[in-house]
A and B are shown apart, each in its own frame.
Chain A
């Protein structure tokens, strides 16, 4: 099966590497301008598509790695063309768009996979497994954090444009909002605060979200675009009535480098670094590909991606209004 990758930024190139690792056939790349896709197309010796229509003509799978505000339109067109679809997180910037995407894929009879990659990180997957096995009993408080620096891009920094990325609560924290829901179940109410609302001129951003789950569990989720590059750190602390599970990327990093560096270049977006034999992105693409080719199960449904953005949107609303936001059940969404 031939894969077309839309979007050639950091996530497009990461997915390309994953496709290559699992022996997938990349037919070509599509970017907003052909110049942007040139390097990747050359590197992989594949096509540099000039528009979506010509890519859709030649591929079986569309892997959408574009900025978030472009997801909906691209997925709708790919579904109409009968393509299998993988879409980067967050699924969409509004529930209406996300629902439209899911409906269109159902109607077209194609898969829509949302790349909530945190579910594929071994530490997160293992913690979920231990919880599901009842190792720490009923969950009481879930603490998750994810922190880095403000995404930088020389031109067109869409991450910092909240109309395109949804800002820190959507772009960064949708990972942990999804994970909290995955381990502790549906969310009843959301309360959030963020620096970019309280101090609009601040050079950093940081947000805290408090979730009340229907199960009675409480989640505390922190997201930072506040640390000096190239910092990227995550942590999990999940306490139940039978014990707790804790992970801290600072404490478990297997390599600490005290080598002098000449430059101090950091990537556009902070990245986790804890070497494992298979990149979580590869695990993810492999699982989606197997589902397409062999109908095998996947650990995350498009509906989960929709539920995650519902929580993120409630957090954005809460940070804006100062009130806790009560979630209404998404009829389509089930755990």
Chain B
């Protein structure tokens, strides 16, 4: 099983490569990047082949590619892979416009390849545990969610995260889709209405005027369930970790509180300025990458699809529209 990586613009690519290396029978056949210095760097770090161009990588016929470019470049790379009939795992958000998202879905369907969206939270053991209990009927009817996916300013990883053109937006685009997707998956129901507020108070000197750093979104689903998502880049730079994902799910029998990244050691070192949390829970990326590989091996549709990615982007884009109008937006 040969897998290639298209672009290291997104730092998640590093985590995905670690996962690939831990799956038996998977060969990281190489990487390509429009930034040749970057691909040279990572090719040497991961001891793999550096392709000069994306075309060259695709012509080497990998079984699948992982696309981790800037958000607005996903479409062209997915279309290239589809042109060579190569299965794709695409970083979230899968697109920055619905037009791009639709084109990607169409291209992959036309080519008969699988397009999977990188939604690792579906593979987080605590999130899965609650999903399994929910499906078993342990919680009864779900009524609402109160959730957060907060973080630091991601600029320290890559500067394009705060470039509206390349990222498609700020905190809303970055941090709405994980929970929006998780709720769609939990509820098996689609969002019908979205309300959102956004501002630019956190890290305002570090971002362009059109990039929001704070935001709260409210989603209403077809089955009546409502949910809020706090997508803010509000964590101070001395927060013990990168951020986190939490949700409270209120049901007929009470509530379940989930903190997906709570399985940490607290580390207090004299030589660091603040305490840190070191995660010992299971890496959700591993389950996600395994699913992509297994789906290709078994020639079946992955459990998370391109359409799931598209639906989550629909919600994020509706949030932007609501911020503009000040009123909820119907999907």
Contacts and interface: CB of A to CB of B under 8 A. Distances in A.
A226 B226 contact: no
A227 B250 CA distance: 9
Interface stretch (A41-49, A136-144, A153-161, A304-312): A136-144
A189 interface: yes
B201 A216 contact: yes
B199 interface: yes
A241 B216 contact: no
Contacts of B328: 191, 322-324
Given A189-B326, A224-B255, A138 B201 contact: yes
Interface residues of A, number: 38
B191 interface: no
Contacts of A252: none
B326 A198 contact: no
Contact of B143 (A189, A198, A210, A220): A198
A208 B213 CA distance: 21
A203 interface: yes
Nearest to A188: B326
B113 interface: no
Contact of B252 (A204, A220, A322): A204
Nearest to A222: B146
Contact of B218 (A208, A216, A323): A208
A323 B327 contact: yes
Interface string B139-163: 0010110101000000000000000
Interface in A108-141: 138-141
Interface string A210-242: 101000111010101011100000000001110
A202 interface: yes
A83 interface: no
A165 interface: no
B281 interface: no
Contacts of B220: 193, 322
- Highest count of chain B CB atoms <10 Å: which of A140, A203, A323: A140
A203 B254 CA distance: 9
Given A202-B252, A210-B197, A241 B230 contact: no
B202 A193 contact: no
B96 interface: no
A206 B254 contact: no
A1 B47 CA distance: 84
A131 to B, nearest CB: 13
B228 A208 contact: yes
A11 interface: no
A206 B144 contact: yes
Contact of A202 (B143, B199, B215): B143
B195 interface: yes
A226 B143 CA distance: 11
Contacts of A241: 201-204
B201 A240 contact: yes
Contacts of B83: none
Interface of A: 138-141, 143, 145, 147, 189, 191, 193, 195, 198-199, 202-204, 206, 208, 210, 212, 216-218, 220, 222, 224, 226-228, 239-241, 243-244, 322-324, 326
Given A143-B148, A204-B254, A210-B195, 5 more contacts: A204-B143, A206-B255, A210-B218, A222-B248, A226-B250
10 contacts: A139-B201, A141-B216, A141-B230, A141-B232, A206-B250, A208-B226, A217-B199, A241-B201, A243-B236, A324-B326
